């Protein structure tokens, strides 16, 4: 089981607000509703890998 940290990026503001562990083999990209501090409301956050 390989787990890796991925960043959750707000789809509206583009800010990377959260970091979460994820299984990397055979999984799709995460998409969650999370709170965005910049917009001060819940928005869709998509997985992005920080290099």
Indicate which CATH number applies to the domain containing 22.
2.20.28.120
**pLDDT tens over the chain, length 51 residues:** 788 889 999 999 999 989 999 887 878 888 999 999 999 999 999 998 765
6-31 b/e (C-beta count within 10 Å ≥ 16 → b): bebbbeeeeeebeeeeeeeeeeeeee
- Number of domains into which the chain is organized: 1
DSSP one-letter string for 2-13: -EEEEEEEETTT
CB count within 10 Å of CB 3 equals: 10
Q: What is the pTM of this model?
A: 0.80
Domain that residue 24 falls in? 3-48
């Amino acid at each position: 089981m390989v787990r890796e940290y991925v960043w959750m990026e707000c789809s509206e503001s583009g800010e990377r607000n959260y970091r979460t562990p994820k299984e990397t083999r055979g999984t799709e990209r995460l998409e969650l509703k999370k709170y965005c501090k910049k917009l001060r409301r819940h928005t869709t956050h998509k997985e992005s890998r920080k290099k």
